Structure 1
Amino acid sequence: MSLADSLFHTLETRPFDQLGLHPLKDSWVIRTWQPHAIKIEVYCHHTDEHIGTMSCDDVRGLFSIKLDKWIGTYYLIAHYEDQNQHKYFDPYQFGDRAFQDFEHTAYQQYKNLGAQCCQVNIGTEQKPNMLDGVRFAVYAPNARSVSLVGDFNIWNGNATPMSSHVDGIWRIFMPNLPEGALYKYEIKDQYGQVLTQKSDPVGFSTEQYPSFASKVENQRRYKWKDQKWTDRDVTPPHASPMNVYEVHAPSWRQNPNGDQADPLSWIELADQLVNYVVEMGYTHLELMPVAEFPLDDSWGYQPLQLFSPTSRLGSMDDFKFFVDQCHKNNIAVILDWVPAHFPSDAHGLAKFDGTCIYEYEDSQKGWHPDWKSYIYDYGKTSVCDFLLSTALFWLEEFHIDGLRVDAVASMLYLDYSREDGQWTPNVNGGNLNLEAIEFLKNFNRLVYQSFPKAITIAEESTAYPGVSSPIESGGLGFGFKWNMGWMNDTLSYFQKDPIYRSHHYEQLCFGFVYCFDENFVLPLSHDEVVHGKRSIIDKMPGDLWQKCANQRALAAWQFAHPGKKLNFMGIEFGQFSEWNFRQSLDWHLLEFDHHKQIQTLYKDLNHFYKGEKALYETDANYEGFKWIERIGHQQNILAFARFDEKFENEVLVIANLAPVTHDNYNIGVDSDSTLTNYEIIINTDDEKYGGSGFTKQILYQVNPIAAQGYAHSICLNIPPLATVILKKK
């Protein structure tokens, strides 16, 4: 096959060896491939000397010219039948020069693959002359050929063939290509069939529907201003306050725009959302996935461009500015990260080069029946390197403080959502995905080695042992795990009419049996307020006052319970409707007292929690917890005490989850001094929170009356449907 044939049919795998400037025996030759051109002239870049007009070796677009001497860097002027002309540097003259420092680092693919803005020296070492451009590199080991397509070549699949290497990476340097240029890869599979044009798996920006084109963006232009944050001393996270505000950025608040509503941009969120988080007293902001995803309805949990923050809200630098503002205000940023699966969109990773280079070939392992998506093949080093690179990318390039890993349970088990006969046991005959388990361990090991101040969190809904235990002791190595059992039991209890709660008392108590087995986060997340589950406040029984009272009691119960805290946006002001990702939260509800009062409670809880060591220092230590009232099921009363790690601070928690008051109720205390007082810090029945104000007294003195097995107690009037938190003075 001739060179023209292989170029025309897009079958040339090493165009660098044929095109560009090459030596002959006693001369030099320039060959270029320019479909649709009728004449091409050659000029020396350094002198602008006209070298000559190239001969047309093939009317389909192959041109060449022989030279007596080497002319260095050159540029071409192509002429077309419509009398237009195009001046450009021939990309093939640079060959591998732009890739001389190319090092395919396993876990840092974002530094080499994708579209990297760079420079090539077209001068000398003594007098360098740097030419701007973009170097493209994509992994497609089983492709017959790969071409770069975009605005710059009218999306012509045989205009700009890329050159392959033994490492399976195809590459080309495009001089003078501006930022913002749109591009994709046109790939022929091993049988020569043209696939749907693919977005860049390591692209840093992506257009929305319908093009899904990748966009050239300089990922290293932004100048960070968070040095004070990154240099700060960090207390071990398990002994630090963590009060997380979970946010779906496009629907937190929106700008009115006629019949539609536009989400706030990252720049606007950097002002409005960050200020709100600071005012409310949260320590962490968790963003539902921001990696680019094709379908709005997936909320980001079906991502395709794992190196690209969604362009729905602005540019890469806009998102960096948002994170910068969070850090300026001492807010840590956690991102939801999805290494469990990816959608089947033709422009994405599915059969990327005609073969399953990202997903398992076996559909029993490679296809998720619930989410209709592909599962990454954790048995391939190349796939694990790709995914681990995406994790480090967000931590390094965006200064993210933590990654919450979505759907860990689906990764751990081969039979997840599968019936008998729909899954294949592992080599030991069990149902664990051993490759995924090893991947998760490597992920945690790599993150904590590379970014010691970062945290990792697992959304893991089963009883898999040691999720947040060290890898050395057989665990997965996560920093924290979502406590889905606590969430299910707690919401199930609170949804019941109080008349039946005494029969389900153990639902609240059972969580204390295992709450120190893992480093837990107590989540009331987006998953609990969608798909007909109703909002948190609307789950509560009774009339409006009782619903509000129940949610207030739940709020303080969550903050007092061992474990870090997470609440989804809208919960903090008692949004009644389910979360709808297409519209803004119902901020107008704050015009009504009962919603404003609920918000005030969450604000007070947040700020109190951050300053009270007894509520966070011993989250993972049973010594910091003591039952007081454990058998008060007939009255729906529970009481316990919590202590800091030095036992210098004590908090007393009393919950009355019945709609009746209890006068002169004795609560045992671990103190033998009648000079000791307990002061109410939070009373969810307080009038300022919309409560009845039944309990007026604030300070309680210890008296020598035995109660609940303790020799001393305090006597107080316990309000209805309320949680009361007292601090030992």
Structure 2
Amino acid sequence: MSEHRDHRAIDALISGHYADPFSLLGMHLTTRGLEVRALLPDASEVWVIETSTGRKCIQLACLDARGYFQGVVPRRKKAFRYQLAVTWHGQQNLIDDAYRFGTLLAEMDSWLLAEGTHLRPYEAMGAHPCVIDDVSGTRFIVWAPSARRVSVVGEFNYWDGRRHPMRQRIENGVWELFIPGARQGQLYKFELIDAKGQLRLKADPFAFEAQMRPETASMICGLPEKVDMSEARKRANGFDAPISIYEVHLGSWRRHTDNNFWLSYQELTEQLVPYAVEMGFTHLELMPINEHPFDGSWGYQPLGMYAPTRRFGTRDEFLAFIAAAHQAGLNVLLDWVPGHFPSDDFGLAQFDGTALYEHSDPREGFHQDWNTQIYNFGRREVRNYLAGNALYWIERFGFDGLRVDAVASMIYRDYSRAEGEWIPNYYGGRENLEAVSFLRYTNHTLGHTAPGSITLAEESTDYPGVSRPPEMSGLGFWFKWNLGWMHDTLDYMKLDPIHRRYHHNLMTFGILYHYNENFVLPLSHDEVVHGKRSLLDRMPGDAWQKFANLRAYYSWMFGFPGKKLLFMGNEFAQGREWNHDSSLDWHLLEGDDNWHHGVQRLVRDLNHLYRDVPALHQCDFDPHGFEWLVADDAENSVLVFVRRDRTGNELIVASNFTPVTRHHYRVGVNHQGVWREVLNSDAERYHGSNTGNMGTVYSDDIASHGRPYSMALTLPPLATLWLLREVT
């Protein structure tokens, strides 16, 4: 090209506005010969070195004082491998030229990414340490179709956007560059000149590790090895398995007493894992894991979807924590947030100067409740980014499932919006058809690619088929949180017992719709914050009655059909609301035996019995597994039902939600025999009044409640009994 055009191109390149740096930089066969061009700001001398021989071929001339060098290799017309010997500030360095390497993204990867069907987009996108042509470095790929220029900046190039502009792949809007010498552990970002000509500095959406706030850089970090899912872990996720989930906020489960600082992943391995095992839980559900800028969001405004938070340690330490949980027999669930993301400038918002990951219209793209952006689920690349993320956590970290946050906010266009603040779908309805399609696709993908893993939906409406397969017009989740059951039963329990007779239906209604979905019964973090008070503090009466009510309620819950979930602190009846900035009140368990110890012992016993007695979990979603024995005694606030396993073994759950002992309370049963009292929430062991049935109850040949046999029970005050039928 002409000298005039040379200077124009050099000016554009140095100013960061040259869209195709590979057409200018590197080695090119021209009419002038085999020409090598390099942009090396602050360099004083540059030599071209033939790699195979180590011989100096030519010294490049400095054509621009800002660092542009160029020269023609004499007597050579065929490209060869070369390096650059560069002198900076009197010191010579031998480097490989990033602009001598060819395209990076394979044709099939490019096709699948553009189509939005790449199962593992994280294997192509982001920063991957690798060796190309015997040269060690890092391959960077980012999606920014409307950007005018994208550069990699980081610790390896003085954060200078002039040094490493990327190649644009026009066919799918990604930018790529292999940077020799960029290595694991170094920090980086992408510097963009966006569609509007504005300079932006963005973290990598596919970063596998990131700095902890307030710093925001991404970190070069190779993919972790795949974690195979054992058959035992698959069985532990089954519909007929006992699933008791301990929901944990890692930053406030326990803190150092001297400085109120978080426990590390290693300390959580040493303390949380054995505690959960001792308490009998089967699953840990972890929050906050995805990297996020604001502690107070509890992780629900993530910007590092592929990066575990650095708050508690490194990624490898987190992997070791999950491995230790598996070794101890615990399955691990991730609290996953694909519904929205914050608008911090270093993140996804207006990534290339356009609404790339989000919607441009705030009626579709802005979440009013949380001041966040809503993903554009109709965009193939966005759907691929999120669905791939789901598989990433399961395949690469060994998570056994995902609890998906705020599903209702995703599937309804009018969620928390007034008339005129939302846009109907193509058919004029309120459903977000693109979000529905995304959820079905993600669940289908996990079901076929990661068999044995599960997803659990926090979905607060009566949307049909949340936990039914996509081929049955469902959303494809394995389980759904039963928020209706949770609200109804807590509304009942907070009532003074004298008024409970008028609201008996709150405890019985849940079974009428129970078989519509595969339900989890959640007593989650959402129920102990924002002025709702702790579960203990929501119980009526004096201190004795509060604890008795809570013990009776937990025992009812663990007997009722559906999998179980308790948020941390609930298991020992924390008295105050949860505060994410401080530890749970473990001091309540210090010193002499007290009511808190009693609740903790009860939850431990509930968990172990729940796991040991198949009748309590095997037929959770089969009507054969449940039968009311007494459902209509509102006057006495008594409820009795039976749970069965596949072979007909039975356990009776009997609750008395008044402070009055019911002596000789007759209950009709289907079988003659002996019933052993395996749990009594009023037992002295749990700091109750120790009223009960002396351990054993015998049936009588007396018909009652439409059944041929019956037995006379002593129902303790504010208590629940479990009676296991002895099979002879």
TM-score, normalization by structure 2: 0.95
Task: Tell me if 1:73 matches 2:73.
Answer: no
What residue in structure 2 maps to residue 705 of structure 1?
A: 702
1:238 matched residue in structure 2 = 239
1:236 to partner: Cα distance: 7.0
Counterpart residue number, 1:663: 663
Read off the aligned partner of 1:76 and give its amino acid letter: L
1:88, distance to aligned residue in structure 2 (A): 2.2
Q: Which residue of the other structure, out of 106, 113, 117, is the alignment partner of 2:125?
A: 113
1:169 maps to 2:174: yes
Distance 1:231 1:534 in 2: 38
SS of equivalent residue, structure 1 residue 234:
helix
Alignment check: 8 A CA contact 1:42 1:76 kept: yes
Question: Counterpart of 2:215?
Answer: 211
Q: 3-state SS of the aligned residue for 1:533?
A: coil
List per-residue Cα deviations over 1:362-415 (Å, max 9, x = no partner). 110110100100001111111111111111111111111101111000011111
> What is the distance in 2 between the residues matched to 1:473 and 1:101?
32
Could you say if the C-alpha distance between residues 646 and 437 of structure 1 is closer, same or farther in structure 2, counting changes exceeding 3 Å?
same
Counterpart amino acid of residue 700 in structure 1: V
- Output the CA distance in 1 between the equivalents of 2:627 and 2:324: 40
Q: Which residue of 2 aligns with 1:183?
A: 188
Partner of 1:34 in structure 2?
40
Structure 1 window deviating more from structure 2 (414-423 vs 700-709): it is: 700-709
Residue in structure 2 matched with residue 126 of structure 1 by the alignment: none
Gaps of 5+ in 1: 122-129
Structure 1 counterpart of 2:291, one-letter code: E
Partners of 1:686 and 1:358 lie apart in 2 by: 56
Distance, in Å, in 1 between the alignment partners of 2:183 and 2:424 is 51
**AA of the residue aligned to 1:173:** F
> Structure 2 vs 1, CA of residues 628 and 223 (structure 1 numbering), >3 Å: closer, same or farther?
closer
Give the structure 2 partner of residue 430 of structure 1: 429
Deviation at 1:71, TM superposition (A): 7.2
**In structure 1, C-alpha distance between the alignment counterparts of 2:107 and 2:86, rounded to whole Å:** 29
1:561 corresponds in structure 2 to 560
In 1, Cα distance between the equivalents of 2:342 and 2:519? 30
Identity rate, percent: 44
For 1:513-552, list aligned pairs within 5 A. Answer: 513-552=512-551
Residues 88-97 or 378-387, more deviating? 88-97
Residues in 2 aligned to 1:97 and 1:74: alpha-carbon distance in whole angstroms: 19
The answer to whether structure 1 residue 58 and structure 2 residue 59 are counterparts is no
Q: Give the 3 Å change call, closer, same or farther, for CA 706–576 of structure 1 in structure 2.
A: same
Counterpart contact for 1:4–1:60, Cα < 8 Å: no
Q: Which moved more, 1:234-243 or 1:637-646?
A: 234-243
1:428 is displaced (CA, Å) by 1.7
Q: Which of the residues 658, 674, 677 maps onto 2:674?
A: 677
The one-character-per-residue Cα deviations of 1:340-377 (angstroms, maximum 9, x if unpaired) are 11000000000100001100111101101001000011
For residue 61 of structure 2, what is the amino acid of its counterpart? S
Structure 2 equivalent of residue 293 of structure 1: 292
Q: Does 1:4 align with 2:10?
A: yes
Alignment of 1:482-521 (within 5 A): 482-521=481-520
1:294-318 residue CA offsets vs partner (Å, 9 max, x unmatched): 1101000000111111111122221
In structure 2, the residue matched to 1:481 is 480
Match of 2:600 in 1: 599
2-structure distance, mates of 1:234, 1:281 = 17
Deviation at 1:507, TM superposition (A): 0.6
In the alignment, is the contact (CA less than 8 A) between 2:250 and 2:288 conserved in 1?
Answer: no
Please provide the CA RMSD for this pair: 1.8
Residue 26 and residue 100 in structure 1: after superposition, are their counterparts in 2 closer, same or farther (change >3 A)? farther
Contact persistence 1:695–1:717 (CA under 8 A): yes
Amino acid in structure 2 at the alignment position of 1:605: L
Correspondence for 1:159? 163
In 2, Cα distance between equivalents of 1:625 and 1:252: 35
Cα offset for 1:453?
A: 0.4
Conserved in 2, the CA contact under 8 Å of 1:98 and 1:135?
no
Alignment of 1:439 onto 2:431: no
Q: Tell me if 1:637 matches 2:635.
A: no
- Answer with 239-248 or 22-31: which moved more: 22-31
Distance in 2 (CA, whole Å) between partners of 1:292 and 1:97 is: 28
3-state SS of 1:432 partner: coil
Q: Which amino acid aligns with 1:697?
A: M
* Cα distance in 2, alignment partners of residues 71 and 34 from structure 1: 21
Cα separation, partners in 2 of 1:202 and 1:223, compared to 1, 3 Å: closer
Task: Kindly indicate whether the alpha-carbon contact (under 8 Å) linking 1:448 and 1:454 is maintained by their aligned counterparts in 2.
Answer: yes
Structure 2's unaligned 5+ residue stretches are: none
SS of the residue corresponding to residue 429 of structure 1 reads coil
Amino acid at match of 1:322: F
Separation in 2, partners of 1:86, 1:140: 33
CA contact (8 A) 1:497 1:542 kept: yes
Cα contact 2:226–2:395 (8 A) shared by 1: no
Within 2, Cα distance between the matches of 1:689 and 1:660?
18
Q: CA contact under 8 A between 1:20 and 1:95: conserved in structure 2?
A: no
Q: What is the CA–CA distance in structure 2 between the aligned matches of 1:321 and 1:45, rounded to whole Å?
A: 41
Select between 392-401 and 520-529 the one with higher mean Cα deviation: 392-401
Counterpart residue identity of residue 245, structure 2? V
Residue by residue over 1:22-79, the C-alpha shift from the partner in whole angstroms, topping out at 9 and shown as x without a partner, is 2235732211111222322333333332333210111222101211335733332333
Q: Tell me what 2:205 maps to.
A: 201
Deviations 1:648-701 (A, max 9, x none): x10101000101101111111111x3xx10001110000001101012511111
Deviations 1:156-215 (A, max 9, x none): 2222111101111101111121211111111111232212x1000000111122320001
Residue 143 (1) aligns with residue 166 (2): no
1:109 positional shift: 1.2
User: Who is 2:415 aligned against?
Assistant: 416
Structure 1: which amino acid aligns with 2:486? M
Deviates more, 1:283-292 or 1:90-99: 90-99
Task: Indicate which of 88, 93, 96 corresponds to 2:95.
Answer: 88
Amino acid at match of 1:178: R
The whole-number CA distance in structure 1 between the counterparts of 2:703 and 2:79 is 99
Please name the residue that 1:124 is paired with.
none
Structure 2 vs 1, CA of residues 576 and 473 (structure 1 numbering), >3 Å: closer, same or farther?
Answer: same
Q: Secondary structure at the match of 1:321?
A: helix
- Report the Cα offset of residue 98 of structure 1: 8.1
- What is the one-letter code of the residue matched to 2:10? A
Instruction: Report the Cα distance in structure 1 between the residues aligned to 2:462 and 2:682, rounded to whole angstroms.
Output: 36
Letter of the structure 2 residue corresponding to residue 406 of structure 1: D
SS for the counterpart of 1:630 is strand
Distance 1:430 1:624 in 2: 38
List aligned pairs for 1:307-322, cutoff 5 A: 307-322=306-321
User: Structure 1: how far apart are the matches of 2:308 and 2:701?
Assistant: 62
Find the aligned partners of 1:455 and 1:172 in 2 and give their Cα distance: 37
Q: Distance in 2 between matches of 1:462 and 1:12?
A: 52
Tell me which amino acid in the other structure corresponds to 2:67: G
Name the counterpart of 1:125.
none
Q: TM-score, normalization: structure 1? A: 0.94
* Counterpart for residue 722 of structure 2: 725
Taking the aligned partners of 2:418 and 2:327, their CA distance within structure 1 comes to 50
